[in-house]
Structures are given as C-alpha cells and as structure tokens.
Amino acid sequence: NAEGDAAAGAGKVALCAACHGMDGKSIASIYPNLAGQWAAYLENSLKAYRAGERSGGMSAMMTPQATNLSDEDIAAYYSQQ
Amino acid sequence: NAEGDAAAGAGKVALCAACHGMDGKSIASIYPNLAGQWAAYLENSLKAYRAGERSGGMSAMMTPQATNLSDEDIAAYYSQQ
C-alpha cells in the first residue's frame, strides 16, 4: 500500500533525518533529497535495499535501516514534504 | 568531476526524458524525479548501475542506459532543473 500513513511515518524517521534531513532535503550531496519524490519510488527503493538488490554506495548503511523500518510509512511521509 | 557540463548534458538526455521528463519530473511514480537532486548523487547512481550494483526494479532498463551515457554530463544537467 503505497498510500501508507504519513502521520505514523513522521514518528519513524528520526534516523533517516540524520542524513536525509527532517524535511527530506539531505545534508550532503552523497545523500539523495527525498522531499517531493514519488511515494511509490521511495517504497520500491527501500524494498530493493531490504532484498539486497543494491550493493556498493551507501548500501552498508541503508540495508539494515530498510530491514528495520516500515517502508510504506516512510515513503508516505517524505512524499508529502 | 561532478561539475560536468550542463549544456553538453542537455543534448544527451532524450532517452532519459522518456521516463524522467525533459524537466526531470518523471512521468509515472515508478520513476524517480531527478529535478533538483544532487549532481553527486545522480552521478553515483548511474555509476552503480554501470557497475552492476543495482539489480531488480528498473535495472534491466537502466544498466544498459548508464553504460552508454556520460554520467557527469547527465548529472550536471538534471541538477540544474
């Protein structure tokens, strides 16, 4: 469900915000801005990390994060920034 | 060189635009918006596809595209939208 629950998602993004910013605008150019990105794309990206389909880059950080979080909620939250 | 040449990049993005839009705003939610994204992140993403570090998702389309294109030019172009 790509709709997710944006309000619930807001409570789960403290870790994400360390790199991607509370408003989805990242703190450095190696991290993607998430603000305004499609919820479906964000959800698919998190699922790809979880499935081990992204290696290299920041995957050593993102794979465990994606495993621990509800991707639908996070996608819904950032897509509304 | 993440600076790239935005003018040169503009001439190379006809294929990209079919999904990501001429202005970097994608035509459907399965494709990420690229407008306003960090040039360094876009460049790293294209290099990851080229290196075979992204599988699943749209990688069957993106890997050959990334192999054929100068990622610095494309990253520079989209980051200025």
Cβ separation of B41 and A31 shorter than 8 Å? yes
Q: Is position B16 within any domain?
A: yes
**Could you report the per-residue pLDDT of A10-47, keeping only the tens digit for each?**
666 778 889 999 888 999 999 999 988 998 898 889 88
Number of domains in chain A: 1
Phi-psi region of A11 (alpha: psi -120 to 50; beta: other; left: phi over 0): alpha
Name the pLDDT band for B4 (thresholds 50, 70, 90). low
Instruction: Give residue A47's pLDDT.
Output: 87
* Per-residue pLDDT tens digits for B20-63: 998 889 999 999 999 889 988 988 898 899 889 999 889 999 99
Range of the domain at B20: 6-79
Query: A73 with A5: CB under 8 angstroms?
Result: yes
In a domain, B41, yes or no: yes
In chain A, where does DSSP find H-type helix?
A: 6-10, 14-20, 39-50, 59-68, 71-79
Q: Do A30 and B38 touch (CB under 8 A)?
A: yes
CA-CA distance, A42 to A55, in Å (whole number)? Answer: 17
Establish if B27 touches chain A: CB-CB under 8 angstroms: no
List the CATH number of the domain containing A52. Answer: 1.10.760.10
At residue B25, the 3 state secondary structure works out as: coil
Residue type, B50: R
Cross-strand bridge partners of residue A20? none
Please answer yes or no on whether B38 and A54 come within 8 Å at the CB atom: no
Tell me, yes or no, whether A1 lies in a domain. no
